[in-house]
Amino acid sequence: MSDDLEDVVVRQYRFLLRTAPVDALEAAHRQALDELGDDARAAVLRAVQTALVCGLRLSIDQPERLAHLITLGERRVPGAFLRALEEHWRRRLADRVVLAEASFGLFGGYAAWDGVEPEPPEEVWVEDEFGERWHVALHPVYYRGYHGGPTSADLFGGAG
């Protein structure tokens, strides 16, 4: 994602996703989602549901919960949400988050940032007997903790 042709605002957004304090990032997303229309929030929700395998019961009228999922999801699996979000919507969301009041003063170190995405944690992916990779939240053996596999509580915290 860090090629020379990357939109400057999207790059700034990625910087915030990787470096900003979680509470500020969540507040910036809440403000951004409040400013975006229903179509944009629906696209963001679809990306969260697809890439992060969460928020299946959310609606577009819950921007605070959606902001929380984006923030935590991108910290746990860097780049997953961004790759799932269509380019047009990614740019619109990035623009709103970068300009949000909560983002003010969070660009220290941006000039020296190399833009390289961290490697996603391996524990959220498992391989089945056919060599296909599954997100553990979708794999029936692992998300329930059968056969000694991790439970969702092990992987994502909370009750499993």
78 Cβ contact list (under 8 Å, min separation 6): 17, 18, 117, 118, 119, 120
Contact 48, 86 (CB under 8 A): no
At 151, give phi and psi (nearest 5°).
-85, 165
d(CA 13, CA 11): 5
Do both 94 and 18 map to the same domain? yes
d(CA 48, CA 51): 5
141-151: pLDDT as tens digits:
444 444 444 45
94-140: pLDDT as tens digits:
999 999 999 999 999 888 888 887 765 555 666 767 776 665 555 44
Contact 55, 127 (CB under 8 A): no
* Count of domains observed in the chain: 2
**At which of 105, 131, 146 does a domain end?**
105
Q: Which of 40-54, 120-134, 145-159 has the highest mean pLDDT?
A: 40-54
Q: Is residue 13 part of a domain?
A: yes
Give me the domain span that covers residue 129.
Answer: 123-156
Q: Is residue 118 part of a domain?
A: no
Do both 78 and 139 map to the same domain? no
d(CA 18, CA 81): 13
